[in-house]
Structure 1
Amino acid sequence: MEPDTVVPTAVETDAEVMASVEEGPTDSFILADISQDNAFVTMPLDEAASLPAWR
């Protein structure tokens, strides 16, 4: 059986990544690389994985 692995990608060493929750009619989870313009991902907070689920 072939292992299910992912090839590591190159990572910028001086990147600054932050996460935030934006409250509003629909609460949103935002993950952003603040060292780059327009480098962010948003999703409804209800769909974001909790920290224990990421482990």
Structure 2
Amino acid sequence: MEPDTVAPAKVAAESEVMASVEEGPTDTFIIADVSTDDAYMTLPLVDAASLPEWR
């Protein structure tokens, strides 16, 4: 059985990625590449991984 993997993405040398939390009825985590139009992702904050989980 082959593993279900995704090919690594090519990363631009001059991209700039930022993250923020938008507070509201549902707190939302936003991560965006500010050097590219419409390159962002949002998800409920409770579903976002914490830094210790990424290690």
TM-score normalised to structure 1 length = 0.84
- State the match for 2:33 in structure 1: 33
Q: Which stretch of structure 1 is more off in the superposition, 7-16 or 44-53?
A: 7-16
1:2-13 to structure 2, matched below 5 A, reads 7-13=7-13
Give the total of aligned pairs. 54
- State the match for 2:45 in structure 1: 45
State the distance in 2 between where 1:36 and 1:43 align: 19
State the distance in 1 between where 2:9 and 2:25 align: 36
- SS for the counterpart of 1:53 is helix
Ranges in structure 1 where 5+ consecutive residues have no aligned partner: none
Ranges in structure 2 where 5+ consecutive residues have no aligned partner: none
- SS for the counterpart of 2:14 is coil
Q: Using the aligned pairs only, state the percent identity.
A: 65
State the distance in 2 between where 1:49 and 1:31 align: 12
